């Protein structure tokens, strides 16, 4: 990734202008998002909420560079994502975005250490440097004693913590999470949410999560409500 | 050639890119190995199918190889065979006695204390019963005592060599297993008389192990032949061969032609062509099936790991890295099967068999000969199967839209 288009450190890390997204089923256009304008400041913690089909996962995918809009512009972490080709976008994701998925999405044939190491394999770091970073990430999620365990040998909560470690191991500016507690019991869900809160408060990570769970949304500092592909309202969470 | 290169160029370029990708791309090969091991049953079934195909491929090649060894090891570089013009093979050739006498004193022949080194010989075929109850033509070679010495690969194992005028024969050990009634001390009937088997020999895997030897005059008498079939001539060195063949060709008295002994036997290796054609046909059919088996396995692997692919892509791996990773996985799968097949083919090594030469209409005994080169060819063949069978699934894996892949 080159540094072209990098914004000053202060200000919004995510800037969406008139974003639209449609899917096509043969000749039928299915609009999902319409004219979304949104700015998320660096270090913010936002929860995207709304009923099923409201477009929240689509919006998260656009912010994370997983999908491309059919209209509008989006700048994330200083890059105009529309200007990046697929390879550049892949490199950008590796460098700037950490992903946390509902079902953890760990690679079953790799142990916890190797799963966390995966994004670093693209970084050009030496084996020793990678080891240090992986151990540090696993320490942050309190799983250093399980680094040689395979996903099948871990509980759901532990698996999600490994996924969090994988998301932060490259020290990305932005963490995106799609229903990160959707597959966890309340105790493990609370642990993961507290961990994400710490990442936001202590390490200054910008976090955007998609959730249906009001408890999970309550950990965020802002809630963005979507309704039928439109931005409905943004609420500041009082705690 | 240019068209072939044009067709092969993209294939070779892709192969080079894959080798480069193996070294340069970050997805570790251990990921593929473990993924294969995780689906043990599918992996082992596919590998077994590939092993079977490669095993057959190597065994078929070993037949042609065995035949080639039999013929190529039969000839010497410094010996020539004189035949009737355009006869191509000894069986079709006839040389009158007066011409043989001219040849026997040819100045270019090598000499020792007994005089010029050459052997006038006659070749006939005779139907013999085989051990399995069928019949097959066998070559009977009548030769002079010198003829035995001119074939250093021939070694007497039991009994003694034949003596002229006594209707005696020596038989090769290899034929004893395949034909009935060829035991030492027994008699065989041919040319209206009984011939006693007085010796058993081997000939280092050469085609002489498909021939029964006797005295040239005895054979000519029994089979009522007035002419010889050929003259085997030793020269001072292999370098004299062109001079000798030219001299024979240009000698107006002879009207014969000479050919290098090794070149003559090389021509005979064409006897293996039907085996090769049939083998290639069977291999092609089985290979097509094996490529589809590998393809099916890899498509299943891609389908069951779609979410995994989505995760890899999301965290920054590029499409070409996914393509290379899955392509290598298919190559490893087929390579493992191919290695196993090549090793299993070793069990066929040394087994004796035979075929009928369409040139001489007689039986040729030879052994399945599995060489390290053939085994390597088998493994290389399996890698090509991996390349072909794995390409489409790997391409599919790399092209799944990211949003779809992440849904699984």
Q: What is the largest CA-CA distance in chain A?
A: 54
A147-151, B86-90, B118-122: the lowest-pLDDT one: B86-90
| Cβ <8 Å between A107 and B307 | no
Tell me, letter by letter, the H, E, C secondary structure of B233-297. Answer: EEECCHHHHHHHHHHHHHCCCCCCEEEEHHHHHHHHHHHHHHHHHHHHHHHHHHHHHHHHHHHHH
pLDDT at B271: 64
A187 min Cα distance to partner chain B (Å)? 26
B31-40, B127-136, B243-252: the lowest-pLDDT one: B127-136
Give the Cα separation of B351 and B396 in Å (integer).
Answer: 45
Going by the DSSP 8-state scheme, the letter that residue A110 receives in this structure is S
Domain ranges of chain B: 19-71+271-407, 79-236
Domain ranges of chain A: 41-66+84-236
Q: Which carries the bigger pLDDT value, residue B75 or residue B189?
A: B189
ipTM: 0.90
Tell whether the model's pLDDT for residue A163 goes beyond 80: yes
Give the Cα separation of B52 and B47 in Å (integer).
Answer: 9
As given in the structure block, the two tokens for residue A8 are 């000053």
**pLDDT class of A6 with cuts at 50, 70, 90:** very low
Q: What residues of chain B have any CB closer than 8 angstroms to a CB in chain A?
A: 26-28, 31, 34-35, 37-38, 307-308, 310-319, 402-403, 406
Which of A64, A108, A122 comes nearest B38 by C-beta?
A: A108
| Cβ <8 Å between B403 and A107 | no
pLDDT at A42: 93
Range A41-66+84-236 has CATH code 3.40.50.300: yes
Which H or E run includes A67?
Answer: none
A238 min Cα distance to partner chain B (Å)? 33
Please enumerate in sequence order all residues whose Cβ is within 8 A of that of B275, keeping only pairs 6 or more positions apart, or say none.
Answer: B60, B63, B64, B67, B355
What are B200-236's pLDDT values in tens digits?
A: 999 887 778 889 999 999 999 999 999 999 999 999 8
C-alpha distances out from residue B279 to B61, B109, B380, B384, Å: 8, 43, 17, 18
B70 Ramachandran zone, left/alpha/beta (phi>0; psi -120 to 50): alpha
Task: Give the residue-averaged pLDDT of B23-28.
Answer: 84
B228-263 exposure pattern, b = at least 16 Cβ within 10 A, e = fewer? bbbbbbbbeeeebbeebbeebeeeeebebbbbbbbe
Task: Give the residue-averaged pLDDT of B44-71.
Answer: 85
Residue A35 φ/ψ, nearest 5 degrees:
45, 50
**pLDDT class of A5 with cuts at 50, 70, 90:** very low
Tell whether the model's pLDDT for residue A1 goes beyond 70: no
Cα-Cα-Cα-Cα dihedral sign, residues B279, B281, B286, B288: positive
pLDDT at A15: 95
Give the Cα separation of A89 and A77 in Å (integer).
Answer: 12
Please enumerate in sequence order all residues whose Cβ is within 8 A of that of B401, keeping only pairs 6 or more positions apart, or say none.
Answer: none
- For residue A93, the chain B residues in CB contact (below 8 A) are 314-316
| Cβ <8 Å between B403 and A86 | no
pLDDT at B255: 87
Bridge partners, residue B196, by sequence: B168, B187
A105 min Cα distance to partner chain B (Å)? 6
What are A11-51's pLDDT values in tens digits?
A: 899 999 999 999 988 889 899 999 999 999 999 999 999 99
């Amino acid at each position: 990734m080159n540094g072209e288009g990098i914004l000053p450190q202060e200000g919004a890390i995510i800037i969406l202008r008139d974003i639209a997204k449609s899917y096509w089923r043969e000749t039928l256009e299915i609009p999902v998002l319409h004219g979304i304008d949104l700015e998320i400041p660096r270090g913010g913690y936002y929860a995207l909420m709304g009923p099923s089909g409201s477009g929240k996962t689509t919006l998260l995918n656009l912010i994370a560079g997983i999908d491309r809009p059919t209209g509008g512009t989006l700048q994330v972490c200083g890059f105009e994502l529309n200007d990046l080709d697929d390879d550049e976008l892949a490199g950008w994701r590796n460098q700037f975005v950490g992903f946390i998925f509902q079902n953890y999405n760990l690679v079953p044939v790799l142990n916890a250490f190797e799963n966390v190491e995966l994004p670093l394999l693209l970084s050009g770091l030496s084996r020793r440097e990678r080891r240090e970073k992986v151990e540090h990430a696993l320490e942050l999620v309190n799983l250093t004693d399980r680094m040689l365990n395979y996903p099948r040998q871990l509980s759901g909560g532990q698996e999600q913590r490994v996924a969090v470690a994988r998301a932060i191991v490259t020290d990305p500016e932005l963490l995106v999470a799609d229903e990160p507690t959707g597959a966890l019991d309340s105790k493990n869900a609370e642990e993961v949410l507290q961990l994400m809160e710490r990442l936001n408060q202590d390490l200054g990570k910008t976090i955007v999560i998609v959730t249906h769970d009001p408890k999970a949304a309550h950990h965020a500092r802002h809630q963005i409500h979507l309704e039928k592909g439109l931005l409905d309202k943004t609420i500041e969470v009082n705690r | 050639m240019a068209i072939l290169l044009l067709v092969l160029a993209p294939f070779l370029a892709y192969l080079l890119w894959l080798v480069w990708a193996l070294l340069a791309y970050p997805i570790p090969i251990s990921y593929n190995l473990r993924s294969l091991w995780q689906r043990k049953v599918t992996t082992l079934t596919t590998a077994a199918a590939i092993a079977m195909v490669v095993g057959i491929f190597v065994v078929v090649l070993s037949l042609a190889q065995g035949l080639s060894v039999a013929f190529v090891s039969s000839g010497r570089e410094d010996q020539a065979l004189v035949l009737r013009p355009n006869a191509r093979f000894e069986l079709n050739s006839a040389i009158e006695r007066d011409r043989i006498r001219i040849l026997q004193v040819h100045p270019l022949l090598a000499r020792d204390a007994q005089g010029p080194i050459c052997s006038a010989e006659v070749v006939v075929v005779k139907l013999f019963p085989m051990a399995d109850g069928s019949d097959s033509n066998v070559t009977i070679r009548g030769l002079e005592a010198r003829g035995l010495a001119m074939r250093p690969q021939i070694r007497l194992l039991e009994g003694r060599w034949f003596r002229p005028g006594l209707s005696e024969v020596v038989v090769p050990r290899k034929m004893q297993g395949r034909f009935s009634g060829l035991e030492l001390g027994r008699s065989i009937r041919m040319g209206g008389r009984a011939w006693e088997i007085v010796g058993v020999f081997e000939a280092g895997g050469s085609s002489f192990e498909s021939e029964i030897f006797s005295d040239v005059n005895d054979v000519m008498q029994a089979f009522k032949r007035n002419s010889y079939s050929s003259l085997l001539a030793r020269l001072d060195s292999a370098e004299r061969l062109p001079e000798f063949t030219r001299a024979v060709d240009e000698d107006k008295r002879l009207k014969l032609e000479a050919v290098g002994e090794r070149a003559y036997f090389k021509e005979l290796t064409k006897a293996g062509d039907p085996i090769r054609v049939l083998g290639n046909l069977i291999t092609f059919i089985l290979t097509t099936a094996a490529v589809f088996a590998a393809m099916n396995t890899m498509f299943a692997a891609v389908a069951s790991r779609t979410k995994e692919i989505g995760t890899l892509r999301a965290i920054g791996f590029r499409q070409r890295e996914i393509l290379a990773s899955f392509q290598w996985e298919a190559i490893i799968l087929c390579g493992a099967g191919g290695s196993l097949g090549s090793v299993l083919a070793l069990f066929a090594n040394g087994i004796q068999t035979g075929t009928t030469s369409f040139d001489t209409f007689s039986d040729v005994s030879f052994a399945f000969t599995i060489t390290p080169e053939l085994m390597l060819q088998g493994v290389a063949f399996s890698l090509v199967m991996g390349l072909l069978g794995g390409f489409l699934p790997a391409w599919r894996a790399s092209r799944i839209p990211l949003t779809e892949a992440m849904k699984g």
